[in-house]
Amino acid sequence: MSNTEITVVRTGGFGNWVRSQLRNIAPFLTLLFLVVFFSVAKPSSFLTVTNFANILNQVSITAIIAVGLTFVILCAEIDLSVASIANVTGIAVAFFTLQPDYVNIANLPLAGPLAVLIALAVCFALGMFNALGVTLIGIPSFIMTLAMMQIADGMSALFVRGQIAYTVPDIVLTLGSGNIFGVPWIVIVAGLFLLVAHLVLTYTRFGRYVYMVGGNREAAEYSGVNVKFIIGAVLVIGAVCSGVAGMLGVAYFGSAQQNEFGTYLLDAIAAVVVGGTSLFGGRGGIGNTIIGLLVLGVLNNGLDHVQIDPFFKILIRGLILLAALVINVYAQSLRSKAETGTD
């Protein structure tokens, strides 16, 4: 609990503390409500260990993308190119696997690993372009990443030219669609990404700087934090996380094709925001993102079980995201009032 929150409890009572924690409480209550509702509606099919495992499997790709996006949003920035970078990276690893002469003139078995390295270099380079555009040129992240989204989509189109690729390196195939002791590797990878990101944000100097930059950029600069470096770093992190998700997603889906990750931009943003991470930066974290992922996973899975109209399903998801945005803005207003002592 922060000093501001302790002050709220002491001076305004439990009610004011609840309002100050609304951003964290609301997602958990939403998750609890959804679990209870679908458990009552479809107890035989929804409330099972197998179905819970399915939910984890279904949100794994979104989780990896959302990890990088959490860093970005904590800095009060946004990255609209994450899904497009995931798509072009997945296509790149398949393309260079199918074209070994491009990565290995001798056509040795190293072609697969080199394809992975080239694909990672692609997403890293695109993240660097985002970082340079935002920090050196001064382009707002919304505009810069919107342009990058178009650039990455164009690269995807050039790679595939309307075709579909099915071959990926063995390591990508294993991590994207394989299992170990019955547990999908992609769930393990997503869990590791979430764990490492949580440790970085909670226990490292870089993590503290991310919160400082998002909470008060001017104060962070006065404290000696290299704000531009932190912003650039989180944009690169976001791109690399998206690239890894894109490669594993190709194996998960069984093919690489254009616009394969089109829905993942909204899903990743929704997971971070619905979980309670502040759009204004400096508040939230991986714990919030996990709750947001579970909310979306339970919602999508539960709606499939009750066999609701798929178009209505999209509407419900949009309404939940809108509600999360309203709570986010309202919580920020409450926090500002608590800090300034105004009513």
Give 92-145 pLDDT, tens digit per residue: 998 888 766 555 554 544 567 888 999 999 999 999 999 999 999 999 999 999
Q: How confident is the model at residue 3 (pLDDT cuts 50, 70, 90)?
A: very low
- 231 in any annotated domain: yes
- 282 in any annotated domain: yes
- 115 in any annotated domain: yes
Residue 180 sits in which domain range?
61-287
- Global pTM? 0.87
Q: To the nearest 10°, the Cα dihedral for 127, 130, 136, 138?
A: -160
CA-to-CA distance for 227 and 130, rounded, in angstroms? 15
pLDDT at 106: 47
Nearest partner of 31 among 306, 262, 289, judged by Cα: 289
- 88 in any annotated domain: yes
* Count of domains observed in the chain: 1
Q: How confident is the model at residue 318 (pLDDT cuts 50, 70, 90)?
A: confident
Round to the nearest angstrom and report the end-to-end CA distance of the chain. Answer: 22
CA-to-CA distance for 235 and 240, rounded, in angstroms? 9
Tokens standing for residue 114: 């080199």
pLDDT of 1 > 70? The answer is: no
Residue range 292-309: mean pLDDT, rounded: 85
Residue range 46-59: mean pLDDT, rounded: 89
Lowest mean pLDDT of 107-111, 158-162, 217-221, 310-314, name the range: 107-111
4 vs 134, more confident: 134
- 313 in any annotated domain: no
Nearest partner of 76 among 338, 320, 277, judged by Cα: 277
Lowest mean pLDDT of 24-28, 181-185, 201-205, 308-312, name the range: 308-312
pLDDT tens per residue, range 231-287: 999 999 999 999 999 999 999 998 888 888 988 998 999 899 888 888 888 888 999
pLDDT tens per residue, range 65-94: 999 999 999 999 999 999 999 999 999 998
Nearest partner of 73 among 284, 216, 296, judged by Cα: 284
Nearest partner of 289 among 87, 59, 82, 130, judged by Cα: 59
pLDDT at 4: 45
pLDDT at 135: 94
pLDDT at 71: 97
- 173 in any annotated domain: yes
- 148 in any annotated domain: yes
- 188 in any annotated domain: yes
